[in-house]
Structure 1
Amino acid sequence: MKILEKNSNESVNSIGKGSVLDGSINAPGDIRIDGVVKGALIAGGRLVLGKSGKIEGDVQCGSAVISGELKANITSKDLLILKETAQLYGDIKTEKISIEPGAMFSGRCEMGPSPGGLKQQAANIFMSNDKTKTTTTDQKKESNKKDNEKKI
């Protein structure tokens, strides 16, 4: 399962139990929070919010496993897992979600590929190429038709 694989290219950032960080975090890779973060958090990789962890600020991440308390909106590009001890107070935007029995969630949830996501970009390119092929074929037919009319 992709969410459980360690990101080997990046080091894992960590806020330990008992630590309190007042401010925003922008981590290019994975991050684990077992303390308290009061501010926005952006993680390019995976966010793991431990049982003792708490975040009070909007979150954007590649994927997330939530076991602690999140008082904010969260946008996860891939998979969001709410473990049985999770408490989430805020809105969710994610492509996929897993909610274990016992998890608490209060807010709205929007699921599916994001408009700017890679899958959507690939689909747009495919559709664009498909339209180009159709146009080119139609143009060739029209050109051949005109050539035939000139010969007559």
Structure 2
Amino acid sequence: MAIFNQPAPPKRDNPVPPPQPETALKREPDTLNEFSFGQPAAPAPVAAAPAPTPAPAPRQAEQPVVKESLIASDLTIEGKIHGSGHIRIAGRFKGDVQVDGDLTVELGAKLNGGVRARKVVIAGELEGNIEAAQRVELLESGVMIGDVKAGVVTVAAGARVRGQVEFGWEDSGKAVARNDGGKSDKSSDKGDKNAKTETSADS
């Protein structure tokens, strides 16, 4: 007689067969059909050749992604920036900025130095000269102390500017041609005379 109840082994309703080891050599498929009694099996139907796919159209040259660098609002940096991307200043920077992309001076930011960029947007304060920009935008909170030479200048109501501003002129000193239906503008002639006078006065 047993003093302890011994647990019975668990019952299995569906016993799992032990795994069969795979053979190293696989059996080749029979070429004879099992119902053909020695006759070769019918050849498998030949699949139709796939239709040729049209060649993909050549991709147009993709524009490289221009990256933007940020000077954060809690940073003060002194130096020089030169590059091909966009620059966004939210802190303080003292030095020259020369980029092929855009420059943005955020609200509360300050830049002391010269600027050469494709487009300049000022919401903060810029103390220095802007040269050779295609477009300059002073937003209503923007402060500009210095000279500006640009193709287009936009000044919002409330913005402040102290300095000389030149826009709409090519590097040669001639007014940019405008499509005005063939009408001549006498004020541009006066501007050309003033430019000549300034040139002769400088010599």
Same fold (TM over 0.5): yes
- The residue aligned with 1:85 is 141
| Residue 31 (structure 2) pairs with residue 31 (structure 1) | no
Residue of 158, 168, 173 corresponding to 1:112? 168
The structure 1 residue matched to 2:75, chosen from 19, 28, 47, is 19
Contact 2:148 2:163 in 1 (8 A): yes
**Distance in 1 of aligned mates of 2:81 and 2:91:** 13
Larger-gyration structure (1/2)? 2
- Checking the alignment, whether the CA contact within 8 Å between 1:69 and 1:86 is kept in structure 2 is yes
Alignment of 1:3-152 (within 5 A): 9-115=65-171
Structure 2: runs of 5+ lacking an equivalent? 1-62, 177-203
How far did residue 27 of structure 1 move? Answer: 2.3
**In structure 1, distance between residues paired with 2:168 and 2:88:** 25
Q: Which structure features the higher share of helix residues? A: 1
Aligned-residue Cα RMSD (Å) equals 1.7
Instruction: Indicate if the aligned counterparts of 2:148 and 2:165 stay in contact, CA closer than 8 A.
Output: yes
- Encode CA deviations 1:54-87: one digit per residue, 9 max, x unaligned: 1111011000110000010012421110000001
Higher relative contact order (CA 8 A, sep 6+): 1
Q: Percent identity?
A: 29
Q: Secondary structure at the match of 1:84?
A: coil
Please, which runs of 5 or more residues in structure 1 have no aligned partner? 1-6, 121-152
Q: Within 1, Cα distance between the matches of 2:163 and 2:128? A: 10
Bigger share in strand: 1
1:113 Cα offset (Å): 4.0
CA distance in 2, matches of 1:57, 1:109: 17
